[in-house]
Every structure is written in structure tokens, then in C-alpha cells.
Amino acid sequence: MRLLHTMLRVGNLKESIDFYTNIMGMDLLRQSDHPDGKFTLAFLGYGKESENTVLELTHNWDTDSYDLGNAYGHIAIEVDDVYEACERIRAGGGKVVREAGPMKHGSTVLAFVEDPDGYKIELLGAK
């Protein structure tokens, strides 16, 4: 297993990318628009995404700002098999809050589980 990324929701994607690249020294690794879901994803980091944990910025087109309390999104963990990981986590007493399957606006197979405090953890299969 490997920690993949942490996601933050942002109100102004251009401003956030500028901050993380120009002030924090990260590289913009990739960016994609999802018109059906009305959101844009931008991934930033200090090295190749295949070798490092990165930051995912999510800009929901209909939202200009967030309260600090709801800006945190999730962490992501790479697993060999998302379906098997959900069963293993459930069998161990963990809570699966989004069953394994393709994402709503794409084809990536994912799932979400909750830690004891209610923080979301996204499970993704190896690419």
C-alpha cells in the first residue's frame, strides 16, 4: 500500500495553483475538467506522481468558497484490488461508506471508507 494524495476543495483554482506552484514550489502535474460533474481536478506535487504523494485540488464550478471546516476532502491509498480491500476492511470492523465501483463521472474504480473519527479514505487500484 502507498499514500497517493490529499484532496482540498478550493474556491479559485487559478489562485490556488499559483500559490502551490509559485509560493510553495510544487509542480502542476496534471489537470482535468469534468463537465458532467461540474468540477476540475488539479494534481500538484514535488515529484512524479508515480513516486510521490501529491495534493489534489478540486474546484467545484458552482462554489466560490468553503468554510475552513469543510475544506478537507480525503486521503487516498493505493490497493491491489479495491473490491477485495473493501471486504477486508469490512471484515476487520471498518466502515465502507461508498462501495467499490466506477466513479460517477469517469471509469476509475474506487471506494471510500471512514476512519474512527469520520475522515474519508479513498481506495484506488494500482494504475
Q: Known catalytic residues?
A: 122
Rounded to whole angstroms, the Cα distance separating 22 from 58 reads 18
Question: 3-state class of 13 per DSSP?
Answer: helix
3 state SS for 91-122: HCCCEEEEEEEECCCCCCEEEEEECCCCCEEE
| DSSP H/E element including 89 | helix 82-91
